[in-house]
Amino acid sequence: MKVQEPGVHLEVPGRALIAQASERIKWHRQMADTMRRELKGTLPRGDSEAGGADWKEQARRTDLEVRISDHLEYARFLSFVKESIVRTRRYRLALSDLT
């Protein structure tokens, strides 16, 4: 007798997972590039003439640096996952795997 598992379970071909990972890698790299461009447009460290606005500029710079790093790290992780997937294999995913 087959036991029914609760929740959503999907069988997904490896090629579909590879395609999805490729799109997410591309998105994360694009986001990092967009943030790099914004970072280049911010004032250099310590060169603010705005006085009180300097802390806001530094906070934004720090936020961008962290977010760029996070996007690139996730793109590297997804690249590893993508390279580990077998194109012809089917993978069983739960709903929690898709979030």
Q: What is the 3-state secondary structure (H, E, C) of 25-89?
A: HHHHHHHHHHHHHHHHHCCCCCCCCCHHHHHHHHHHHHHHHHHHHHHHHHHHHHHHHHHHCCCCC
- pLDDT tens column, 40-95: 987 565 555 555 568 888 899 999 999 999 999 999 999 999 999 999 999 998 88
Q: Global pTM? A: 0.77
